[in-house]
């Protein structure tokens, strides 16, 4: 004798049936494919700009001017400083000390004093690669102008009452880095953060639910097909939830595919010591998680707007504008309290925490590009500074991600509850 299906088995069957019905509906609609292809096209177009940036040649700049021969004696300034001769007097040059010493080509003294990242990441010292500090005719106190007891180095300190780092270099230390290597790394990180935050979490996160989820319940109410769903032994709140499952069954695999494709392109083309950049995996996972939960919350909210009014998209547009303002706020003031009243603010916390765990040296990397004793910021430093943000919650990275996901689940649940209550009061046309 067969046992009757349990309550949970019946619930599973109802959920699968409604979700499958929703998937079939969405797949047959031309608007679904247009929305998904437009999102894919927008991401692809932006990625082409990234590919172009990675294939460009960046001019090597002599940031410290030590490739210049100020006294016209044939010897570049860097070579004269290394030998201890006066770079501003033609009567003093290395050839007078050792006749076998020939003038260096000026190119040797461009990019000759790169950043020593292994030392900097450990928070200890930089290194005077080219000797223009150690060999210069400077007093001992000048060679230790950062007052840390070490001659010709870089001091890294945490600023009081701030989470930022203060980097102070002794004279002419790490002042002429490899401009192209820095630019490509900085532009790569800035692009991943920019397309992750603005492209996937915000643009796709709002764009797809706006056009696909706003009518998830409303369209069925207006067309009369809702009567067929209500004829089943299901409550309206269950129909609302199960149709959302069908929507997510389309959107979440789409997000996985597009983000994976973008990650592969940037992983193979981006700067790396090997064939593929594995250090970005954590950032892309954070972008994926943030995008999935953002689409979930927005879909619940926009479908709620559709239940409230048959022109629900009109209500959704002002909210989308609000979220645009909030994402811009996260770039400049990630600790602003107003962000806690948005969806995008919590989603950005996930991306920022994932980036902080994956690229632990980014604060130092930005500081060196912006203020590392250079005459002007290096290419890419300012862009990376804009898109890199702290979460502003004061929690560990894992705690930030867990809290943000929890809040977004609660936001979705509240929208579902309110939408279910309104749905029960609506008459079906």
Q: What is the pLDDT of residue 394?
A: 83
What are the mean pLDDT values of the chain's consecutive 10-residue runs (429 residues total)? 50 77 89 93 95 90 88 92 89 91 91 80 71 82 87 76 71 86 95 96 94 86 72 81 93 97 96 92 97 96 90 89 92 88 95 95 87 74 92 88 97 94 79
Helix, strand, or coil (residue 165) = strand
**pTM score:** 0.88
Q: What is the pLDDT of residue 75?
A: 94
Burial of 124 by CB count in 10 Å (0-12 exposed, 13-18 middle, 19+ buried)? middle
User: Nearest 5 degrees, angle CA 91-CA 95-CA 97?
Assistant: 90
pLDDT digits (tens, 9 = 90+) for 380-398: 999 999 999 988 788 899 9
Q: What is the pLDDT of residue 1?
A: 47
Measured in whole angstroms, the distance separating CA 397 from the mean position of its chain's CA atoms is 15
| Contact by Cβ (8 Å): 88, 68 | no
Distance between start and end Cα atoms, the chain: 43
């Amino acid at each position: 004798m067969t046992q009757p299906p349990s309550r949970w088995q019946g619930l599973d069957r109802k959920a699968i049936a409604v979700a499958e019905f929703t998937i079939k509906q969405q797949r047959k609609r031309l608007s679904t494919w247009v929305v998904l292809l437009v999102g894919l096209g927008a991401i692809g177009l932006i990625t082409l700009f990234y590919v172009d940036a990675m294939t460009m040649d960046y001019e090597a700049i002599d940031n410290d001017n030590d490739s210049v021969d100020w006294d016209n004696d044939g010897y570049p300034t860097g070579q004269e400083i290394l030998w201890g001769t006066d770079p501003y007097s033609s009567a003093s040059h290395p050839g007078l000390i050792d006749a076998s010493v020939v003038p260096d080509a000026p190119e040797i003294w461009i990019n000759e004093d790169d950043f020593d990242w292994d030392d900097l990441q450990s928070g200890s010292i930089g290194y005077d690669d080219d000797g223009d500090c150690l060999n210069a005719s400077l007093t001992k106190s000048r060679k230790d102008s950062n007052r840390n007891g070490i001659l010709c180095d870089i001091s890294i300190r945490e600023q009081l009452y701030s989470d930022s780092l203060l980097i102070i270099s002794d004279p002419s230390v790490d002042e002429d880095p490899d401009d192209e290597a820095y630019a490509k790394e900085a532009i790569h990180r800035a692009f991943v953060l920019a397309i992750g935050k603005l492209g996937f979490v915000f643009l796709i996160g709002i764009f797809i639910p706006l056009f696909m989820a706003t009518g998830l319940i409303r369209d069925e109410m207006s067309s009369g097909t809702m009567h067929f769903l209500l004829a089943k032994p299901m409550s309206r709140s269950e129909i609302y939830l199960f149709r959302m499952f069908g929507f997510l069954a389309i959107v979440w695999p789409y997000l996985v595919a597009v983000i994976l494709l973008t990650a592969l392109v940037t992983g193979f083309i981006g700067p790396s010591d090997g064939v593929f950049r594995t250090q970005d995996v954590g950032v892309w996972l954070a972008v994926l998680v943030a995008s999935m939960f953002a689409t979930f919350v927005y879909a619940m909210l926009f479908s709620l707007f559709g239940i409230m009014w048959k022109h629900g998209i009109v209500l959704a547009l002002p909210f989308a504008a609000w979220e645009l303002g909030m994402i811009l706020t996260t770039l400049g003031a990630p600790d602003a309290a107003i962000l806690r009243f948005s969806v995008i603010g919590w989603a950005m916390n996930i991306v920022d925490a994932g980036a902080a765990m994956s690229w632990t040296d980014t604060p130092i990397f930005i500081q060196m590009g912006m203020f590392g004793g250079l005459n002007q910021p290096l290419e890419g430093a300012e862009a990376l500074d804009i898109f890199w943000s702290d979460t502003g919650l004061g929690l560990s990275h894992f705690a930030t991600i867990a809290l943000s996901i929890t809040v977004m689940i609660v936001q979705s649940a509240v929208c579902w509850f309110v939408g279910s209550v309104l749905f029960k009061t609506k008459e079906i046309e």
